[in-house]
């Protein structure tokens, strides 16, 4: 079964890690290895602090030094070297692969069972 995971690492770590999921053809063209991944979205440096400009528009004031990447694996992550870079932003974060929101939320709660997001609201107590 395919698996969706979110990762953060330094740009240098990403350059090294992505070589493990790339393939190069006879002409020297590089692409994602379809035996390992279905899709990869390089989100880059995400904003960690927002502000507003003079017109009230939302603007990023501080970007994370970490590089964010979303990977839809063909099965379980093909390489354990990615495991230490997994992050769990509250569903669904900045990006989600179409059709994967529910599965990500389930995986998020399995990894973070005490997170507020995973606690269903309790009905009011009758007096």
Does some domain include residue 59?
Answer: yes
Region 8-32: mean pLDDT is 95
CA dist., res. 67 & res. 18, Å (int): 12
Q: Is residue 20 scored above 90 in pLDDT?
A: yes
48 or 123, which is more confident: 48
Does some domain include residue 107?
Answer: no
Does some domain include residue 103?
Answer: no
pLDDT at 78: 63
Question: What is the percent of the chain with per-residue pLDDT over 70, rounded to a whole number?
Answer: 98
Nearest to 22 by CA among 79, 97, 84: 79
Does some domain include residue 80?
Answer: yes
pTM: 0.86
Region 23-46: mean pLDDT is 95
Does some domain include residue 125?
Answer: no
| Whole-number Cα distances in Å, 101 to 5, 18, 118 | 11, 24, 14
Q: How many domains does the chain have?
A: 1
CA dist., res. 118 & res. 120, Å (int): 6
The number of angstroms, rounded, from the C-alpha of 96 to the middle of its chain's C-alpha atoms is 8
Does some domain include residue 112?
Answer: no
Domain range for 29: 3-88
pLDDT category at 33 given cuts 50, 70, 90 is: very high
What pLDDT, in 10s, does the model give residues 76-117? 776 678 999 999 998 877 899 999 999 999 999 999 999 999
Does some domain include residue 96?
Answer: no
pLDDT at 126: 79
Does some domain include residue 8?
Answer: yes
């Amino acid at each position: 079964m395919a698996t969706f995971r979110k990762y953060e690492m330094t740009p240098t770590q990403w350059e090294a890690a992505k070589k493990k999921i790339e393939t190069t053809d006879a002409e020297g063209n590089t692409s994602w290895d379809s035996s390992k991944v279905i899709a990869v979205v390089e989100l880059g440096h995400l904003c960690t602090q927002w502000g507003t400009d003079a017109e009230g528009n939302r603007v990023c004031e501080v970007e994370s030094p970490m590089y964010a990447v979303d990977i839809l694996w063909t099965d379980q992550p093909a390489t354990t070297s990615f495991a230490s870079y997994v992050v769990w932003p509250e569903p669904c974060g900045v990006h989600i692969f179409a059709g994967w929101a529910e599965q990500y939320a389930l995986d998020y709660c399995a990894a973070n069972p005490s997170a507020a997001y995973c606690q269903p609201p309790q009905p009011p107590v009758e007096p």
